[in-house]
Amino acid sequence: MTEVFSSLFIAALALSLLLKLWLGNRHIQHIAQHRAAVPVDFQDTISLEQHQLAADYSTAKTRLGLFSAILDTLIIVALTFGGVLQWLAERSADFSHSPVISGLLLIVGVSVLSGIISFPLSLYSTFGIESRFGFNKTTPWLFVLDQLKGLLLGALIGLPLIALVLWLMDISGPLWWLWVWLVWSGFQLLMLALYPTLIAPLFNKFVPLEDRQLKNRIEALLSRAGFQSQGVFVMDGSRRSSHGNAYFTGFGRAKRIVFFDTLLKQLSHAEIEAVLAHELGHFKHRHIVKRIVLTFILSLVFLFLLGQLLHAPWFYQGLNVNMPSTAMALVLFFMVLPAFTFPLTPLSSLLSRQHEYQADQFAASETQASDLISALVKLYRDNASTLTPDPLHSTFYDSHPPATLRIHHLKESN
């Protein structure tokens, strides 16, 4: 069984990588083939220069993604068949005989090692690609500060949670996976509630929307949609990037509406209202709740599966590990799982795109569809989103429908 599992994992890992490389190269070639002309639906609103900027930007990001996929695969191979995980487990066990402490050390060791290796990609993405195309506003000091804050938060929040999980896995018997799932689900709901007021302000400044005319329009829309929130806020997204966005955050009574300051500069009041109506469409169709429930169901299934593998010698030995433990099981499982589930990615993307169409339809019923169309065109243009993605690549990766299809659906709703 050990050799069979090793072979299956190698095959799944290789298939996932080859599929990513094939899809990425298809995407790059498709963009290049359509770089010379703006799609007909956008010729009056997006110039050829802007279209080609988006093509080059998307190509650069895709190439970085391909390199990242290769690097991630090499890291996994080194950790497993290269013996790095075994070495980390031995050093952790030498430091402490406590399963929880040695397990924490193992998980921290893997995280730190992976972070160090992938850190240059983050640097290049921010100060290479984003800067080259004029989007980056982050200073080196702000970038370092963000990294340090993230590490500190990860330690303060993540380490106690992981310690609790490892402890439950040791003492809860055969049904440990159910107890861990309950703790993890509760933690996720708690973070949804606390994020807007405790975590997000550590990274960005949020101020109440001051534009009275726009605020009145928004409050009227919220009233029509039956949506209650703790307020409408503007975030200083321009400190880090010129990309524009808007989103809901929080859970239950802690919901907030957040606009990037860059978005408010890009769009008219009518267009901002239409964008917000789209976000409200997700609320009215209960998309957020449905996604949370789906996430909880999948996490329960995965933890149950891990429970069946926890005491299976072939699971560890098939990945070149000779020191079974609860922490090692967690590391191996969540390292191996993506290789087997990546081919299923289009299912998640399909569900997300269906939700986007439904939210667009709601926005068209509450505001002018033409306002949402013009807002989307400006966002595609100003964010340098390609108008000509490869259809198969889009099927796998894109949570939103391609621009042409999305706007075509909105025009039909008029």
Active site residue 360: yes
CB of 277 closer than 8 Å to CB of 366: yes
3-state secondary structure 240-281: CECCCCEEEECCHHHCEEEEEHHHHHHCCHHHHHHHHHHHHH
DSSP secondary structure letter of residue 285: T
Q: Could you give the count of Cα atoms lying within 13 Å of 93 in the half-sphere of its Cβ?
A: 13
Q: Catalytic residue, from 271, 273, 356, 360: name it.
A: 360
* DSSP-based three-state secondary structure for 44: coil
Compute the distance between CA of residue 245 and CA of residue 247 in angstroms, rounded to an integer: 7
Q: Which residues contact 388 (CB under 8 A, 6 or more apart)?
A: 30, 31, 34, 35, 39, 55
| Token code pair at residue 201 | 């302000």
Torsion angles phi and psi, residue 379, rounded to 5: -70, -40
**Which one of the listed residues 130, 279, 356, 371 is annotated catalytic?**
279
Cα–Cα distance measured from residue 399 to residue 346, given in angstroms and rounded to the nearest whole number: 9
Rounded CA-CA distance 352/260 in Å is 22
CA 284 from chain centre, in angstroms, equals 23
Q: Catalytic residues, which ones?
A: 279, 360
